[in-house]
Amino acid sequence: MKRQFSIIYIVITAELIGPHLWAAIPAPPVNQTIGVPDGIFNDLGEAECRFCHEDPDIATGGAIIPDRHHLLMYSPIRTGECSVIHNSCLLDSECNSGICSRHNVSCTRDSDCPQFPYGETCGEICIGKTVAPDKDADKNGVSDTLYQCLNCHLEDTTGGIIQMQVWRDCLLCHVQIPGEASVHHLSPTAQGSNSPIGDPDVGDCTPCHGTLVDDIGDGHVIPVYQPSALVPTPSGGDSLPLNAYGKGSGACDYCHDQDTMPPAAPVEIYRNADTHHNTGVYKNEIGVVNNDTCFWCHNVIPPTNTEYDIRVCEGCHGYESLHNIAIDSDTGCLFGDPGCEVVIGGEAAGFSHVGNSDDCWGCHQYVRASASVSGPATPYIGGTDVLSATAGTDTTVTLTGYALTNLNLEDSSQWTSDITLTAADGSTVTLTPDSISSNQLTVTVPGTTAPGTYALRAVKGPYAKSNPVVIAVVPDIVITNVNCDRKKGVLSVGGSGFGEKPAGTDGYINVKVNGQTVKITFWSDTRITASVSSCPGNAAVTVNALMGSTTTGNSSGKPPKPCNGKKC
């Protein structure tokens, strides 16, 4: 009887597994369609920065870079934070005559975080430090607290003529030390000192990555029962079938692993250990290690059984987030293609974590063929047609991506995305799309939106949200009246949105009459005066301001006459 049972068992196993020995689950590296590729980003150069931040088809960052920076005028200078006390470490409020008042130790203008050797009591480091070319623009010996033009643009006074220098190297201010943390992971949010979602003692991932991941300490479900064959392991799966590298199913690296065989992905793909260790969240920008962050991923507290390692991984990769990752597998379904609907439980293998039974078996060692808690697939934004909008005017934005809507095969439910618009102060409004398909939606940003930088995210239900795309809402530059005093030789331009005009910016910020630059004598946000030698009739007056330009005109396309007699 025992032998007969063994034979039957073998036959059942062959019947169950045999058809899937050649399943279409991709060999490593797995599909890199959504989210951040399984690469490392600790050696960024200028070209890599602009690759994402200046391409509207790569929504990461978004917005026109000069607009984003100019909108910072007169806002608090963004600084690093002390790793323990979390106060700013580029300001001088606690550095009195070279002594830090909080710790009674020597300090410098650049930092009020005492630089103790690692491991000593109360030692801390300045994390996330961003350097401006000149932190003391007014030259009063004290670091400025608010952004001004001269914090970023230095003046060249060669020959007695003031010329504003324009810096275009991202890494001049956003420090990237080769081999150390990505500038993104040095932010207070990623480092955990400013945690809007999760535990203030650990970093947050979802503000940038969306719910393709979880935040440690945000309350998502992490099972407490002992791992078994049902639960994947971080690496070292030993179940059939084997992938092209000889690794068995039942582990993350069955699909997520280094690309050591052709064809190579568009970016170099690394092992799981490399991608996680090279996030840089455990180091500051000068390479000092913060051991506390090691506990985010490594369980060094009993029980030390390696079976429990997966529970630590679930701090960032819980089953709720993993079970809601899916894109459409139909041929030709790319960004913006209409009619391509993501169907959880109904996609080809390798296009999601829950596409079909092959995806499930890749993690769960062929003992589970359907995913629980699957619902709204996490949306992903991959492109936008608008990077900057003008305040006062409704702006229609078209976003392209994946899984903006989705179906659930199990209960035939459909999920559609709304859009959240989040300001720099964290305030959020929810917008309903004007139109939507799985891969494209349009939404109207209201003209009542105040000037500033905003993050747009697609959200579904109470949980799923996309990565953000950033747009800048810039002030509307309006000329309401133009007058010219011929006797005094003074041109006066009234309106709004002119902003400020620092010395040395004549080549960028100016007024032109019939294409000729005139000499500015006064400039404010609502009024400009300039000296002119004459008042030509029917002149075109152009204001080139910090946030854009405008020219006088009317419905016929002809500019109004700025002069009528001696005073007009």
Whether the predicted pLDDT of 300 surpasses 80? no
Q: Is 330 exposed, middle or buried (0-12, 13-18, 19+ CB in 10 A)?
A: middle
pLDDT band, residue 558 (cuts 50/70/90): very low
Pick the closest to residue 454 from 433, 480, 429, 475 (CA basis).
429
Q: Which domains does the chain show, CATH number per domain?
A: 180-322 (no CATH), 380-474 (2.60.40.10), 478-551 (2.60.40.10)
* 260 or 20, higher pLDDT: 260
Q: Tell me what the mean pLDDT of segment 46-62 comes to.
A: 70
How would residue 418 be classed by pLDDT, with cut points 50, 70 and 90? very high
Q: What angle do CA 540, 541, 542 make, to 5 degrees?
A: 120
Q: Other C-beta atoms within 10 Å of 142: how many?
A: 14
pLDDT (0 to 100) of residue 354 = 78
DSSP label at residue 217: T
**Per-residue pLDDT, 396:** 97
Q: What is the pLDDT of residue 442?
A: 96
Model confidence at 416: pLDDT above 90: yes
**The pLDDT of residue 367 is above 60:** no
37 cis-preceded (ω within 30 degrees of 0): no
- The pair of three-digit structure tokens given for residue 130, joined into one six-digit string: 């961003």
Tokens of 144: 């400025």
Q: How much is the average pLDDT of 293-307? A: 67
Q: What is residue 212's predicted lDDT score, i.e. its pLDDT?
A: 93
Average pLDDT over residues 352-372: 68
Residue 255 pLDDT class (50, 70, 90 cuts):
confident
Helices (H) and strands (E) in the chain, counts: 11, 30
SS3 content of the chain, % helix, strand, coil (to 5): 15, 25, 60
pLDDT band at 262 (very low <50, low <70, confident <90, very high): low
Residue of higher predicted confidence among 386 and 260:
386
CA angle at 204 for the pair 40 and 279, rounded to the nearest 5°: 15
Q: Which of 326, 115, 311 is nearest to 212 (CA)?
A: 326
Tell me: the pLDDT tens digits for 499-536? Answer: 888 877 888 899 999 899 999 999 999 999 999 988 88
Query: pLDDT tens, 430-445?
Result: 999 999 988 899 999 9
Q: What is the pLDDT of residue 285?
A: 52
Residues ≥6 apart with Cβ < 8 Å to 171: 44, 45, 46, 49
* Phi, psi dihedral angles at 529 (to 5 degrees): -125, 150
Check whether 472 has a pLDDT greater than 70: yes
Does the pLDDT value for residue 8 go beyond 50? no
Residues 6+ apart with CB under 8 A from 239: 229, 248, 249, 250, 365, 366
Indicate the range of 3-12, 259-268, 531-540 predicted with least confidence.
3-12
What integer is the mean pLDDT of 315-325? 88
pLDDT of residue 251: 86
Which pLDDT band holds residue 284 (cuts at 50, 70, 90)? low
Report the pLDDT value the prediction gives residue 121, as an integer from 0 to 100: 30
Mean pLDDT of all residues in 294-303: 69
Q: Which of 136-150, 345-359, 451-465 has maximum average pLDDT?
A: 451-465
d(CA 53, CA 49): 6
Spatial separation of the C-alpha atoms in residues 541 and 543, rounded to whole Å: 7
- Distance, CA of 554 to CA of 552 (rounded, Å): 7
Mean local confidence (pLDDT), 153-180: 74
On average, the pLDDT of the chain sits at 75
Better-scored residue on pLDDT, 273 or 161: 273
148 falls in which pLDDT band (50, 70, 90)?
Answer: confident
pLDDT number for residue 93? 41
Percent of the chain with pLDDT strictly greater than 70: 72
Residue 173 binned pLDDT confidence (cut-offs 50, 70, 90): confident
Q: What is the pLDDT of residue 92?
A: 38
- Structure confidence at residue 346 (pLDDT): 78
Neighbours of 564 (CB within 10 A): 12
Decide: 175 and 187 in contact? Cβ < 8 Å.
no
- pLDDT in the model for residue 62: 57
Q: Given the structure tokens 């003046």, which residue do they identify?
A: 155
Predicted confidence band at 339 (pLDDT cuts at 50, 70, 90)? Answer: low
Binning pLDDT at 50, 70 and 90, where does residue 1 land? very low
Compute the average pLDDT of residues 115-133: 50
Check residue 308 and give its pLDDT. Answer: 72
| 179 SS3 class | coil
Given a cut of 80, whether residue 29 has pLDDT beyond it is no
Picking from 81-90, 213-222, 538-547, which range would have the lowest pLDDT averaged per residue? 81-90
